[in-house]
Amino acid sequence: MAIKLKAGKIYSICSCGLSNVLPFCDNAHREHNSTHKTDYKSVKITPEKDTLIRVSSSRWESVQESK
């Protein structure tokens, strides 16, 4: 998935696959971590210039399929 990022803005990218706003983090991992004793965290990105990135995760796909 391609996303446009603006220079100087902090972005949080989901690493757990539980977010309802993929590819961005909505902190759904916090409850999951507490319940399942895991340690998911978002991936923080702050670009120096406007840029387009591609992100993907097999975790997103497997979690979304099981919902």
pTM summary value: 0.80
Q: Are 33 and 39 in contact (CB under 8 A)?
A: yes
Q: pLDDT tens-digit profile of 16-44?
A: 999 999 999 999 999 999 999 999 999 99
Q: Determine whether 28 is exposed, middle or buried from the number of CB atoms within 10 Å of its CB (0-12, 13-18, 19+).
A: middle
